[in-house]
Amino acid sequence: MSKFDRLIDNKLIQNLFVWLFFYVILLITIQDGARALTSIYVILLLAPAVYINNLYILPFFRKKPSIFFLLFSANSIVFTAISVYLIVKNTTGETLQLGMFVNFLGIMILALLFASSLKIARDSFTRRQQEKDAELKLLKGQLNPHFLFNTLNNLYGLSVIKSDKLPELMLKLSDLLRYSLYETKDVYVPLEKEIQYLENYISLEKIRLEEKTDILFSKTGEISTQKIAPMLFIVFVENAFKHLETSTDIKENVSVSIRQENNKLYFKCQNTIGKMDVLHENLEKGKNGIGLQNVKKRLALMYPDQHTLTIEKKEGIYSVNLILEV
């Protein structure tokens, strides 16, 4: 979170800004000669009623509206009476009048309604943000087991045949898990690290597949200063390798490219698919599709109206094209 964001989220600064805004309004509307001093005096009279309303009365608004309106009215009347009394007592030549009480009651109600509206709007925004953060944490929590499940399946297959490649694969897996567990806690991570993670995963697959698959990976553009939501691309790369038909003598192909250009990030992943493969259907529904469903939800949450995802299966090629505005 940037310093500016922390300042915006600071409740003390938010309150000071609201009262400053209200102070300017009073300066414009009050016709008294000592407008500046009078405006400060009015704010000091309004503040106790506003904070009592926001902290203790407003919570009843949703739960028990009738009690809220009763307490809201009592709060307005009581503090208006106290304020008018203090004004009359400390102002020479003033006498207590019904008109003065009604005018200040109007100001009090407007101030309470304004403060209540701001509090409700801020609480609603905070609640939505918390729900969004909770969902993102849940989705990231689902992603790591999904990745681990796929990788362990590959390692199990090699352990059955007692492959010599298993120790090296275990070391690669250790590096991958270290990144996914400890370096993806932030909402956004450096793009360089995310690409390095993909390169490690692809290196792991190269060891496993050896000569059975042609694997290409390319990256272009300025990536050192960019940041991205963690583990967005790995789902597509995983699926590309998962659905290769390596049991035949025909060499398969996987191609992954990342290009940064004009504040946009272009990701493309292509792989060949076998005749009996049901990749598209499996990805879109059922357990096998949890990875794709997950990444679509994360894109919708973190890049609303800032991404384009195209998935095609055509002529034995499965391709994913993702464009992000970064």
Is 215 a member of any domain? Answer: yes
Q: Measured at the alpha carbon of residue 230, what is the angle toward residues 225 and 232, in degrees to the nearest 5?
A: 110
Instruction: Provide the residue range defining the domain that includes 89.
Output: 3-126
In a domain, 192, yes or no: yes
Residue 232 counted as domain residue? yes
Q: Supply the Cα-derived Rg of the chain in whole angstroms.
A: 31
Same domain, 78 and 202: no
pLDDT in tens, 146-180: 566 766 776 777 777 777 777 877 887 787 778 77
226 is written with which tokens? Answer: 């960019």
User: What gap in Å lies between CA 67 and CA 203, rounded to an integer?
Assistant: 65
pLDDT at 283: 45
User: Does 156 reside within a domain?
Assistant: no
Q: Are 293 and 135 in contact (CB under 8 A)?
A: no
Residue 157 belongs to a domain: no
| pLDDT at site 290 | 61
Q: How many domains does the chain have?
A: 2
Averaged over 221-248, what is the pLDDT?
A: 82
- State the pTM of this model: 0.59
Q: Which two tokens stand for residue 11?
A: 């409740």
Three-class SS state of 325:
strand
> Is the domain of 309 the same as that of 172?
yes
Task: Please determine, for residue 280, whether its predicted confidence score (pLDDT) is greater than 50.
Answer: no
Where a domain ends, among 80, 111, 126?
126
Mean pLDDT, the chain, as a whole number? Answer: 80
What's the average model confidence in pLDDT over 278-284?
Answer: 46
238-257 CB burial, b ≥16 within 10 A, e <16: bbbbbbbeeeeeeebebbbe
Q: Do 41 and 182 fall into the same domain?
A: no
Pick the last residue of a domain from 126, 152, 185. 126
- pLDDT, greater one: 120 or 37: 120
Closest CA to 226 of 266, 180, 269, 189: 189
pLDDT average, residue stretch 35-64: 88
Instruction: Place 243 in a pLDDT band, splitting at 50, 70 and 90.
Output: confident
Same domain, residue pair 168 and 110: no
Compute the distance between CA of residue 9 and CA of residue 4 in angstroms, rounded to an integer: 9
Whether residue 276 is predicted with pLDDT greater than 60 in this model: the reply is: no
Q: What pLDDT score does 52 carry? A: 94
Residues 198 and 110 in one domain: no
Q: Is residue 132 part of a domain?
A: no
pLDDT band at 71 (very low <50, low <70, confident <90, very high): very high
Q: Among 135, 129, 108, 114, which residue's Cα sits nearest to residue 43?
A: 108
Least confident of 64-73, 90-99, 120-129, 288-297: 90-99
Hey, how many other C-beta atoms are within 10 angstroms of the C-beta on 325? 12
Same domain as 197, residue 109: no
Instruction: Note whether 120 and 169 are same-domain residues.
Output: no
End-of-domain residue from the set 126, 155, 179? 126
Q: Do the strands 252-261 and 317-325 form a parallel or antiparallel pair, or are they unpaired? A: unpaired
Regarding whether 170 and 120 lie in a shared domain, the answer is no
Element (H, E) at 310: strand 307-314
Residue 6: the pLDDT is 67
- Ranked by mean pLDDT, the top range of 28-32, 173-177, 298-302 is 298-302
Residues 81 and 173 in one domain: no
**CA–CA distance, 23 with 67 (Å, rounded to integer):** 31
CA dist 220 → 202, 298, 309 (Å): 17, 25, 20
Confidence of residue 288 (pLDDT cuts 50, 70, 90): very low
The pLDDT value recorded for residue 257 is 96
Report the percent of the chain where pLDDT is more than 70.
81
Burial grade of 15 (CB within 10 A; 0-12, 13-18, 19 or more): middle
CA distance 160 to 233: 30
Whole-angstrom distance, CA of residue 233 vs CA of residue 259: 13
| 135 falls within a domain | no
Burial class (CB in 10 A: 0-12, 13-18, 19+), 137: exposed
298 and 212 both lie in a single domain: yes
Within a domain: 131: no
Residues 169 and 313 in one domain: yes
Which range is most confident: 9-13, 59-63, 293-297? Answer: 59-63
pLDDT at 129 over 90: no
The domain that contains 192 carries what CATH number?
3.30.565.10
Nearest to 223 by CA among 192, 197, 189, 193: 192
Q: Are residues 206 and 318 in the same domain?
A: yes
